[in-house]
Amino acid sequence: MAIQRGHRFPIEFDEAFGKGLVLVGEIAPDFEYQENKNKPPRQKVDPVTGKRQWVGTVTDPDETKAKRASFQITFLADVQPVPPAPEVLPGMRPIELDGLTVEPRLSGNGEFKYQGWLFRATGFKSAVTSASRPGAAKGADGGKAA
């Protein structure tokens, strides 16, 4: 049995992004391309779930290649997802995604192609704290209760 093209693999957030993600800017509607600029924009709808698509730019602090450190996440939701975490720097929020899926795809141009990923999420998990991240720094007691 072959895996069909476009299959979305569910993945745990911590497995995909060991050091978490940082949302840069805001979540915005993902509009369809229209040649006629006078027409009102239409928001894309996911053909699999029927949910509206939203996009946000994120940065992965675990990625060593600058070209691949920032990318877009597509959110599938009826209403615009709102990140629960406050800004740590202007326009930057640590986030954790809920309902995360990944789809392999071919990225790059010409002879410089590489394996890329298309990430989709259904929203955000509750506020991220440094203590909830795997590998987060522990206090002098090694993270044990007194």
Give the other-Cβ count within 10 Å of 119's Cβ: 20
> What pLDDT was estimated at residue 131?
45
> What pLDDT was estimated at residue 1?
60
Q: pLDDT averaged over consecutive 10-residue blocks of the chain (146 residues)?
A: 86 95 96 91 95 97 89 96 94 96 90 90 78 44 40
> What pLDDT was estimated at residue 6?
85
pTM for this model (two decimals): 0.81
> What pLDDT was estimated at residue 42?
94
The total number of residues shown for the chain amounts to: 146
> What pLDDT was estimated at residue 27?
97
